[in-house]
Amino acid sequence: MAIYVDPPLWPAHGTVFSHLVSDKSLTELHAFAAAAGVPERAFDGDHYDVPERRYDDLVAAGAIPVEARILVRKLIASGLRIPARERSKALTVPLMERWNSIYPGHETLGLELLERWGEDGRKYHSRTHLLAVLEALDTLTEPALPARTVSLAAWFHDAVYEGVAGQDEEESALLAEARLSEAGLAPDDVAEVARLVRLTSTHDPEPGDHAGALLCDADLSVLGGDEESYARYLAAVREDYAYVSDDDFAKGRVAVVRHLLGLEPLFHGERAKALWLEAAHRNLTSELG
């Protein structure tokens, strides 16, 4: 196993950055970074972003300097590389294209929401999750498009995120009411968006609530991923709650998993059930075990 670093070529925040990767193990990468004093917040899924001033220190600590193209090859060969579309920072343009198709003429509001979804410290509740929910809505409604109120609710449903269940959804709903009213959306539509946002607190829509079922199914679609993607989801959720002790996180997570397994139904639409139900039950049961 080895740690590699490429030259500081990547501009951001008034300096240039290098990438620090392992060719075998994230555990090895995290251990090296911790020993070298690289902060946890510098980790971006499969590498650490390190400023130019740290380059010589990292090489002295044992990181092997390589060209950028070689580093990428090492990362791909390791199996640790995360595709670009799953990186929160890389999603500004595609997400803004989606926003402008949903609510044209309100780019400033879309950019505000993107800033919220891109806040430091968000790992799971990030732009990656927002895109996944929007794509799940597309999948569940194709060949039609989701109702605009459902899509807007997806954009707002974790716009406020402090890691406090119930409170986050309520504050996100209040934000939706304020911003969408200011933007001139019809009052009935504003109320519907806020209702849907609040519903993501329980994921338990009433029978016949098609819009609520659609949003809840899309929001929980991550549960029905393959083993690898579910593992990434769990790791990201743990990072979202990095300030919580292992014991307290385990207790809270057990409660969440039991709640999800107790939902009947877990998914509401027939297409969602066919796509994700079996895998979701398998993943949740395995996690609980």
Contacts for 233 with CB less than 8 Å, ≥ 6 apart? 124, 222, 225
Q: What mean pLDDT is reported for the chain?
A: 91
The model's pLDDT over 184-241, given as tens digits with 9 standing for 90+, comes to: 999 999 999 999 999 999 999 999 999 999 999 999 999 999 888 898 889 889 888 8
Give residue 121's pLDDT band: very low, low, confident or very high (50, 70, 90): confident
Q: Looking at per-residue confidence, does 122 or 83 come out higher? A: 122
pLDDT at residue 43 greater than cutoff 80: yes
Look at residue 57 and tell me whether its pLDDT is greater than 70. Answer: yes
Averaging pLDDT over each range in 80-84, 235-239, 269-273, which range is the top one?
269-273
pLDDT at 273 over 70: yes
Beta carbons of 94 and 127 less than 8 angstroms apart: no
Q: Give CA–CA dist 78/234, Å, rounded.
A: 21
Q: Name which of 122, 142, 137 is nearest 218 in CA terms.
A: 137
Residues 183 and 247: their CA atoms lie apart, in Å, by 44
Residue with tokens 């549960």: 223
Average pLDDT over residues 173-189: 98
Nearest to 223 by CA among 212, 214, 232: 232
pLDDT tens-digit map of 12-37? 667 888 999 999 889 999 999 999 99
Of 220, 240, 241, the C-alpha closest to 230 is: 220
